[in-house]
Amino acid sequence: MGELSAAEPEHSEVRAEAGEPVIATRALTKRYRGGQLAVDGLDLTVPAGSVFGFLGPNGSGKTTTIRMLMGLIEPTAGTARVLGQPMPRATRAVLPHVGALIEGPALYGFLSGRDNLIRYDSADPAADPRTRKARVAAALDRVGLTAAAGKKAKAYSLGMKQRLGLAAALLQPRRLLVLDEPTNGLDPQGMREIRTLIRELASDGTTVFLSSHLLDEIEQVCTHAAVMTQGRLITQGPVAELSAGARGRLVVTTPDPAEAARVLKEQGVGDVVVTDDRVTGEPPESDLADVNTALVTAGVRVRGFTVERASLEDAFVALTGEGFDVAG
């Protein structure tokens, strides 16, 4: 804000029209020279203002997609638009509005943290050298690195490097932040700080595109998510809808598990599983209150009776038929 200078044609084209997605790809495809199909006909839509979780096992094509969005890799087929502009053609106009952390931070080990940021800021044609020092200091402060700013980057811990990488993405006010595994290498306290930071940025109106292998992290901060495996997009949409797609499980805690299991089956509960004093199963169509009444009427002593909400992980397993950490 506050930069109310005359509009330059090149930059005035970068704008968010009402309702226009921040990222939109059509049949985006990348086939590497070896013939390996890394991304296969991707139609991805990231709405403006969302915190968008990008999920998928290692090797599923997430990073290739991010690199195509950032103009680092030329697509084999299809188109990608970022902030309404075609990539990679409009990198000069688009990328000053985009902060990115791609596949972990990369730093000049022989430079201090502060000098690393100065170096990256000098590479941005839209960065004003007069405000450079102040912006670098603000970015360092924002990620909690002010005290270590003068230390050489090679002496940084993985978590500090990650923070410095984030600081580089925050050198300017951004319209879009692309964060690839931003909490990698951070301790739980650091993770919480980063999550808070992401929420703050999102509440300022920045769209955040977040790739992570930590499903609960996506669930905690993201409003939307997309799931990729083997180069294809399986699903995308608001997080609430995705997890709603996987049904929850009925959990009955009781000292009489055998009897409970029999009654539950009678009541139409599917896939009944007994483990110690817990009996779980797929909830029936009928009212759960009636199921509980049936249990009590049959003399089953019920300690607990709940439906465990499906997590994004359940949704993921339901979609891919495999565990999350299995490489595709």
Partner 1 sequence: MSRAEVVESVRPVSPLWTFGLLRSELTTTFRRWRTLALLAVLAAVPVLVGIAVKMETSDGSSPGGGGPAFISQITNNGLFLVFTALAATLPFFLPMAIGVVAGDAIAGEANAGTLRYLLVAPAGRSRLLLTKYATVVIFCLAATLVVAVSALTVGALLFPLGDLTTISGTQISFAEGLGRALLIALAVAASLIGVAALGLFVSTLTGSGIAAMATTVGLLITVQILDQIPQLHALQPYFFSHYWLSFADLMREPVYWDDLTKNLGLQALYAVVFGSAAWARFTTKDITA
CA atoms 225, 229, 232, 235: torsion sign: negative
3-state helix, strand, coil split of the chain in percent (to 5) is 35, 25, 40
Residue 142, H or E segment: helix 132-142
To partner 1, the closest distance from the beta carbon of 17 in angstroms equals: 5
Residue 51 vs 102, nearer CB to partner 1: 102
DSSP state at residue 33? T
Residue 96 vs 190, nearer CB to partner 1: 96
State whether residue 25 is helix, strand or coil.
strand
Region from 114-122, 187-195, 241-249, 288-296 binding partner 1, contact rule CB under 8 A: 114-122
List the structure tokens of 265: 């089956």
Query: Do 246 and 315 form a contact (C-beta atoms < 8 A)?
Result: yes
Residue 130 vs 289, nearer CB to partner 1: 130
* Footprint of partner 1 on 11-40 (CB under 8 A): 11-12, 14-18
* Footprint of partner 1 on 165-184 (CB under 8 A): 168, 172, 175
Residue 14 vs 242, nearer CB to partner 1: 14
Pairing of strands 176-180, 98-101: parallel
Query: Nearest 5°: CA angle at 295, between 291 and 298?
Result: 135
317 binding partner 1? (CB under 8 A): no
Residue 177 vs 295, nearer CB to partner 1: 177
8 binding partner 1? (CB under 8 A): yes
Residue 106 vs 296, nearer CB to partner 1: 106
Of 103, 193, 259, 277, the one binding partner 1 by CB under 8 A:
103
Of 47, 49, 59, 104, the one binding partner 1 by CB under 8 A:
104
- Cα–Cα dist 269/282, whole Å: 6
Of 51, 52, 61, 97, the one binding partner 1 by CB under 8 A:
97
Q: Tell me how far apart the 2 most distant CA atoms of the chain are, in Å.
A: 79
The closest of 272, 253, 252, 276 to 262, measured between CA atoms, is 272
Of 92, 142, 262, 278, the one binding partner 1 by CB under 8 A:
92
Taking the mean position of all CA atoms in its chain, how far away is CA 181? 8
Residue 163 vs 249, nearer CB to partner 1: 163
275 binding partner 1? (CB under 8 A): no
List the structure tokens of 144: 């909690």
- Cα–Cα dist 23/176, whole Å: 9
188 binding partner 1? (CB under 8 A): no
To partner 1, the closest distance from the beta carbon of 28 in angstroms equals: 14
Query: Do 184 and 163 form a contact (C-beta atoms < 8 A)?
Result: no
89 binding partner 1? (CB under 8 A): no
Which residues are near partner 1 by CB under 8 A? Answer: 1, 3-8, 11-12, 14-18, 67, 70-74, 91-92, 95-98, 100, 102-104, 106-111, 118-129, 168, 172, 175
